[in-house]
Chains A and B, each alone.
Chain A
Amino acid sequence: MHKIDLNLPKKFTDWFQQKGWHPHRHQLDMLAADRQGAHTLLIAPTGGGKTLAGFLPSLIDLATNQTDGLHTLYISPLKALAVDIQRNLMTPVEEMGLDIRIETRTGDTPANRRQRQKENPPQILLTTPESLGLLISQPESFALFKCLHRVILDEVHAIAGTKRGDQLALCLARLSKIAPDLRRIGLSATVAWPDDLRAYISPTAQPDRVVTVTGMGAKRADVRLLETAVRLPWSGHYGLHAIPEIYQEIKKTGTAIIFVNTRAQAELVFQELWRANEDALPIALHHGSLARDQRRKVEAAMADGSLRAVVATSSLDLGIDWAAVDLVVQVGPPKGVSRMIQRIGRAGHRLDVPSRALLVPCNRFEVLECRCVIDGVAEGTLDGDPPREGGLDVLCQHIMSLACAAPFRADDIFAEIRQAAPYRDLTRDAFNAALRFVEDGGYALKSYDRWKRLFLTSAGTYEVANPKLAHRHRMNIGTIVEAVTLKVRLRGGGILGEVEEYFATGLEPGDTFVFAGRMLRFEGIKQTAVEVSAARGKDPKVPAYMGGRLPFTTLLSDRVRATLADPSSWIGLPDQVREWLNLQQWRSLLPGRDGLLVETFPRAGKEYLVAYSFAGRNAHQTLGMLLTKRMERLGLAPLGFVASDYVIAVWGLHAAKDMESLFDEDMLGDDLEAWMEESSLMKRTFRNVAVIAGLIERRQPGQEKTGRQVTFNSDLIYDVLRRHEPDHVLLQATRADAKGGMIDVGRLAEFLARVKTGGIRHRRLDRVSPLAVPILLEIGKEAVFGDAEDQLFDELAVELIEEAMRMDPQGGLPL
């Protein structure tokens, strides 16, 4: 226990005493650092008064010095600021009787309040990166932020390294320009790269300007693997086999969060839990596509302890902090150790009990991955990628925002932008290209001189050519480009949430699907809503969402490979899994720690190639496209491929023999270029870049189809730029995005380099190996389920498993 810092004003010490609390050490450390004039980064797990620690310097400042105008800006990645802030900020302020005006400003704030906030700002303003971006683009921003003392960045680990983070960093650079003495405070969960976060918070992009304060270490966690009594599935990612056992765990526990990896999985797990719920326990569902009111209701019910369990996606990763959660269940591996630690942090904030978590693997490979996650948590190893360089598309948008706020000189804003960590290495050439793009599109063909968006004055400053352009730009500020969604309206009821247009337009009247925990019948699309009625069908179509699953981290990939390579580490794995691995060792080989194991075998008139590449599903998708192109050229007549996080399988008419040339690094040269030209993923990536940069305007919510006269085919833009302007700034931005994300060329390159040093072991087999069964079972799986398909899959599964596990006494040696 610490002594109360005597420097705290009386109101504050009284309040702590009344509550019977002592300020946490990190709260006092934050205060001490602030008094020395430092910028600070607080790294602490969820709970433990992190938000208050961030606000404490400002509250004391405001309680002791009368200041007018905006004093402190708080920025959170969450639009639903209200709940957590109420408990951690408003309540202490009220109870101490502090006279401080605190207001929020988000996309939902009504226009009259926004106007009032500009004229008569509160002392503390709570907002989001998008709303800040909009404020920065207004001429009034200079007056508004002139006396700003502090900016608090919440959940900064979740935002640095994203495009929203790039935008925020650029806005911070502008804030520091307006208010040079601005103090920055970052609040973060534990991450693998604290120095990058310090640089992100720093006003000069130099980490040493920022003091790190560390909160209480993560509490001891009791993490278990669910030892299922039923047969472990060979494939699949839903974990429905374990529902009865998960239900028993819920029954034994006070309150549980059941984390799953996708929204579709959330719907199915929720549905099955309800089927098993013979005690009618209050179990709820929470994911990002549900109507906001519904989500708020679930959060409130969770906060007041009236729920026994909630099935959730990453929608519950951030924000609301529930002390009362006793157990975190993770269905399917969390895909990263850091993410698991953060999710575990959601349970058991009571000091005397360790956090409890249960991992439920959905298939055999996931048993290995979950085992590795548990080991990683025990060792406290952190993973995840450090922030990458800032996006040029975000830069283009920001330059236009700066022009909308006030005329600028190119040299001035170049210097300003380089103070933001994501852009500290920005070259003048890249900056000029972005500026030229904003000016007139930046094309070599100079045909748009007459219609420039920026106008260079004789004084050497850039100005927006007309106010209408500024107005339109402000409508398009932000970096989240979401798939177009349609509201789901229940006939005779309210809005249930949203599904992607892509899914909705694939439905025929009469089709059923599971959404918001209900079985629904599709009736039709009316205006911008999907009309549904309650249904009782038994073969639902499940909503499919874009970009559902994240690949597992490189750290987990390394650990899984190390486990596979070392049979002595298999102790503690379930018998079913050990038996499976032993058979693999006997029938073929185990994938090694380094290098690459490739198996080829004939099956039902086709030739299969299975590569144990462990580069994550996104890199594998790209690898699959490139491999099949290559095999086509070699005359192997490839017919298709399927990829998981661990493995890729390609099948075709003829067997591949020369693996070295097939997996050569030169794949990333001409082959990659040729693929990028046609790839729909690349086109989608380009489209997002073009929207953020302001080349294509986003469809405003509620805006109906605009009709063909004003729509422009974005694929054509991509095609003509590739042909006529291959170095255009938007293509540069697209290529940078392709290094990660859905295309993940960066990780593919790492994998190919690993193959080159570690070598390839090729096993020619007479039939499918045990380790290859799971991936073959993925072939042909789609998001649409029905009786017929299920039956086919079941037959295929039985056939494959028998084939792989057959103990053939003669000639069983693999060759």
Chain B
Amino acid sequence: MTTPLRDSSAIVLNGAALSALPDGSLHWPARNTVIVADLHLEKGSAFARGGQMLPPYDSRATLATLATVLTRLRPHRVICLGDSFHDAQASDRLPSQDRAQLARLVAGTDWIWIAGNHDPAPPPDLGGSVHAEWIDGPLVFRHQAEMGPRAGEVSGHFHPKASVQTRGRRLSTRCFIEDGSRLILPAYGRSTGGLSVWDPAISGLFPKGFSVHLATGRSIVRVPKARLLRAA
């Protein structure tokens, strides 16, 4: 059990002091770096292409949240952990207003695009640099966690979410999941769904147990594994 005074957002990973933020981004103060995963920009228009006319504002919503955190923290470096675009044509579909917003954000920083399975090659014209993975001191940043012990690995891909029950109500929300050695970020894209941390695809990566930090949008709530509902 954790003591109530302990900071819910603090994560120590392979010796690096990190901070989970309520919007689902990760802050590494020592390196002045902000990390986000799975923006899935233009997911809405991907549905529209298939005949399901979802509102064309999902990229705008995601970028607005991202702009807020970047304006506040003014990081030197931003790392996007892959699946930043929902598919290979997504950047072409990005409405011009949103495209300009993204370009403004990229221009102010050392922007690292990690390649994901949805976007193996993020668009070159937006600025930033593309990498398969990025290593900085004790941490390695990649899109998808690799099997076996990986000290200091920070990744995305799985869109972890978790549920708790309190006062008879079930609350389900996106979350960070970590075991002090490995960390998986929640999907940052506002339109994304999630995968339960109990899914073997996620829990299998944490054979020695894990802790979860719920990103509620307003706060980070650290929940011990035993309190989580085993949602289907």
Contact = CB atoms under 8 A, between A and B. Distances in A.
Interface in A108-160: none
B213 to A, nearest CB: 19
18 contacts: A440-B53, A443-B53, A443-B56, A445-B95, A447-B45, A450-B49, A451-B48, A451-B49, A451-B50, A505-B230, A506-B165, A508-B230, A708-B159, A711-B193, A712-B43, A713-B193, A720-B60, A782-B168
B232 interface: yes
Contact of B193 (A506, A708, A783): A708
B160 to A, nearest CB: 10
Contact of A716 (B52, B93, B191, B231): B191
A713 B47 CA distance: 12
B58 A716 contact: yes
A505 B163 contact: yes
Interface of A: 437, 440-443, 445, 447-448, 450-451, 453, 465-466, 468-469, 472, 486, 501-502, 504-506, 508, 525, 695-697, 708, 711-713, 716-717, 719-721, 723-725, 782-784
B167 A472 contact: no
Nearest to B93: A447
Contact of B57 (A486, A697, A720): A720
A501 B53 CA distance: 27
A695 B195 contact: no
Contacts of B51: 451, 453, 465-466, 468-469, 472
A470 to B, nearest CB: 10
Interface residues of B, number: 36
A698 to B, nearest CB: 12
B223 to A, nearest CB: 16
Contacts of B229: 505-506
A506 B230 CA distance: 8
Given A505-B232, A708-B193, A720-B61, A447 B56 contact: yes
A113 B95 CA distance: 49
Given A440-B53, A784-B168, A713 B232 contact: no
Contacts of B163: 505
Most central of B51, B163, B195 by chain A CB within 10 Å: B51
Contact of A502 (B45, B170, B192): B170
A557 B53 CA distance: 44
Interface of B: 43-45, 47-58, 60-61, 93, 95, 159, 163, 165, 167-168, 170, 187, 190-195, 229-232
B192 A717 contact: no
Given A506-B165, A508-B230, A448 B48 contact: yes
B170 A506 contact: yes
Most central of A442, A486, A723 by chain B CB within 10 Å: A723
Given A445-B95, A447-B93, A717-B54, A712 B170 contact: no
Most central of A486, A712, A719 by chain B CB within 10 Å: A712
Nearest to A527: B232
Nearest to A721: B55
Contacts of B57: 445, 720-721, 723-724
A443 B170 CA distance: 34
Nearest first, the 6 A-B pairs at minimum CB distance are A441-B53, A711-B193, A782-B168, A720-B57, A708-B193, A505-B231
Contacts of B55: 441, 443, 717, 720-721, 724-725
Given A695-B53, A713-B191, 7 more contacts: A437-B53, A440-B48, A445-B57, A448-B45, A453-B51, A502-B170, A783-B168
Contacts of B168: 782-784
A711 B54 CA distance: 12
Nearest to A718: B55
Contact of B53 (A453, A466, A504): A453
Contacts of B159: 708
Nearest to A544: B168
Given A441-B53, A506-B229, A720-B55, A712 B191 contact: yes
B52 A697 contact: yes
A225 B231 CA distance: 45
Contacts of A712: 43-44, 47, 54, 191, 193
A409 B45 CA distance: 28
Contacts of A501: 232
Nearest to B172: A505
A724 B53 CA distance: 15
Contacts of A448: 45, 48, 53, 56
Contact of B190 (A505, A508, A716): A716
A441 B195 contact: no
Given A468-B51, A716-B190, A504 B56 contact: no
A443 B58 CA distance: 13
Contacts of A505: 163, 170, 229-232
Contacts of A525: 232
A696 B54 CA distance: 8
A260 to B, nearest CB: 22
Nearest to B96: A447
Most central of B44, B47, B55, B229 by chain A CB within 10 Å: B55
A97 B113 CA distance: 79
Nearest to A501: B232
B58 A720 contact: yes
Contacts of A721: 55, 57
A499 B194 CA distance: 23
B75 to A, nearest CB: 25
Contacts of B56: 441, 443, 445, 447-448
B83 to A, nearest CB: 10
A241 to B, nearest CB: 24
Given A720-B61, A782-B168, A713 B52 contact: no
Contacts of A711: 193
Given A447-B56, A453-B51, A725-B55, A708 B165 contact: no
B139 to A, nearest CB: 25
B66 to A, nearest CB: 15
Contacts of B170: 502, 505-506
A359 to B, nearest CB: 30
A719 B190 CA distance: 10
A102 to B, nearest CB: 38
Most central of B49, B54, B170, B230 by chain A CB within 10 Å: B54
Most central of B61, B167, B187, B191 by chain A CB within 10 Å: B191
A775 B40 CA distance: 48
Contacts of A719: 61, 190
Most central of B60, B168, B194, B232 by chain A CB within 10 Å: B232
Contacts of A445: 56-57, 95
Contacts of A723: 57, 61
B175 to A, nearest CB: 14
Nearest to A680: B169
Given A506-B165, A720-B60, A708 B192 contact: yes
B183 to A, nearest CB: 19
Contacts of B49: 450-451
B95 A713 contact: no
A444 B64 CA distance: 19
Contacts of A716: 58, 61, 190-191
Nearest to B43: A712
A723 B55 CA distance: 11
Nearest to A711: B193
A502 B95 CA distance: 38
A468 B52 CA distance: 12
Contacts of B191: 712-713, 716
Nearest to A640: B167
Contacts of B54: 441, 695, 712, 717
Nearest to A730: B55
Contacts of A708: 159, 187, 192-195
Most central of A437, A469, A716, A717 by chain B CB within 10 Å: A716
Contacts of A508: 230
Contacts of B190: 713, 716, 719
Nearest to A439: B53
A281 to B, nearest CB: 36
